[in-house]
């Protein structure tokens, strides 16, 4: 069974200028362990597709099945529970809470979803930070870390609940090229272990690391390789 199965999804928004279709009959399947890049010009529908997959937004028509759930049918409460356990999200600007330490940021998803016993949460957070080479930063506030270190912490937080799906929206757009490559290598390693990774990107640096690409143009899939 695919981890992601998007079926004939259309999303139309009402705007002051009239209806705007951001996605038009888009279908997509992605299996466990794939590292999928979503590419396309600004306004092509990339962010809307990601919002469909993560349940942040709902399709006007069509179906979205992710990690065994019919995401388009879940109510808001069920969506929050489902997303916390099944989807990790990495943002371009990290979105770490500034008043919490790095370790506390990584523990947040575990606290929210109660996925691990309380006594296991900090050790798990430290193990993830150790894996990504920043365990020594665990008790610092995010502002004390470099951009690359903050992004590694954000990836650790996204993996806190061991979700089957990791979604990253322009995760290297705010990083220098060498740090961006290090992050891409992390994503490739995560995918190789069986987690599905979906990344929105404008850059070509990801080409050596991804296993497939979906290109959007004018709200539709123009290529899927």
The string of pLDDT tens digits covering residues 107-145 is 999 998 888 999 999 999 999 999 888 999 999 999 999
Q: Residue 114's domain spans which residues?
A: 32-59+67-224
Domain-embedded: residue 13: no
Report the chain's mean pLDDT, rounded to a whole number: 91
**Is the pLDDT confidence value at 211 over 90?**
yes
Average pLDDT score over residue span 206-224: 85
Q: pLDDT tens digits, residue range 65-114?
A: 999 899 999 998 999 889 988 999 988 777 899 999 999 999 999 998 88
Could you tell me the pLDDT band of residue 225, with boundaries at 50, 70 and 90?
low
Rounded distance between C-alpha atoms, residue 191 and residue 189, angstroms: 5
The torsion angle over the Cα atoms of residues 219, 71, 225 and 8, rounded to 10 degrees, is -50
Q: How far apart are the first and last CA of the chain?
A: 19
**Is the pLDDT confidence value at 34 over 90?**
yes
Question: Domain total for the chain?
Answer: 1
Nearest to residue 84, comparing CAs of 129, 51, 54?
54
Rounded distance between C-alpha atoms, residue 189 and residue 159, angstroms: 13
Domain-embedded: residue 180: yes
Domain-embedded: residue 149: yes
**Is the pLDDT confidence value at 41 over 70?**
yes
Domain-embedded: residue 10: no
**Is the pLDDT confidence value at 9 over 70?**
yes
Domain-embedded: residue 5: no
Domain-embedded: residue 12: no
Could you tell me the pLDDT band of residue 223, with boundaries at 50, 70 and 90?
low
Rounded distance between C-alpha atoms, residue 115 and residue 109, angstroms: 8
Q: Residue 107 belongs to a domain with what CATH number?
A: 3.40.50.300
Model-wide pTM > 0.75: yes
Residue with more model confidence, 225 or 135: 135
Domain-embedded: residue 96: yes
DSSP for 38-72 reads EE--TTSSHHHHHHHHHTSS--SEEEEEETTEEGG
Percent of the chain residues topping a pLDDT of 70: 98
Q: What is the model's pLDDT at position 203?
A: 67
Domain-embedded: residue 14: no
């Amino acid at each position: 069974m695919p981890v992601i199965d998007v079926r004939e999804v259309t999303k139309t928004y009402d705007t002051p200028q009239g209806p705007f279709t951001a996605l038009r009959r888009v279908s997509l399947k992605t299996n466990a362990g794939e590292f999928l890049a979503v590419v396309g010009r600004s306004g092509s529908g990339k962010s809307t597709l990601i919002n469909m997959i993560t349940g942040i937004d709902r399709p006007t028509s069509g179906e979205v099945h992710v990690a065994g759930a019919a995401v388009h049918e879940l109510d808001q409460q069920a969506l929050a529970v489902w997303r916390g356990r099944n989807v990790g999200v990495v943002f371009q600007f990290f979105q770490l809470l500034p008043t919490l330490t790095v370790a506390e940021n990584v523990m947040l998803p575990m606290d929210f979803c109660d996925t691990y016993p309380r006594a296991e949460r900090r050790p798990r957070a430290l193990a993830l930070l150790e894996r990504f080479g920043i365990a020594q930063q665990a008790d610092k506030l995010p502002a004390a870390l470099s951009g690359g270190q903050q992004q590694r912490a954000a990836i650790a937080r996204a993996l806190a609940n061991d979700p089957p799906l990791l979604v990253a929206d322009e995760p290297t757009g705010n990083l220098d090229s060498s740090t961006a490559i290090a992050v891409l290598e992390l994503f490739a390693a995560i995918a190789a272990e069986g987690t599905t990774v979906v990344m929105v990107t404008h850059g070509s640096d990801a080409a050596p690391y991804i296993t497939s690409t979906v290109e959007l143009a004018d709200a539709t899939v123009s290529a899927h390789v």
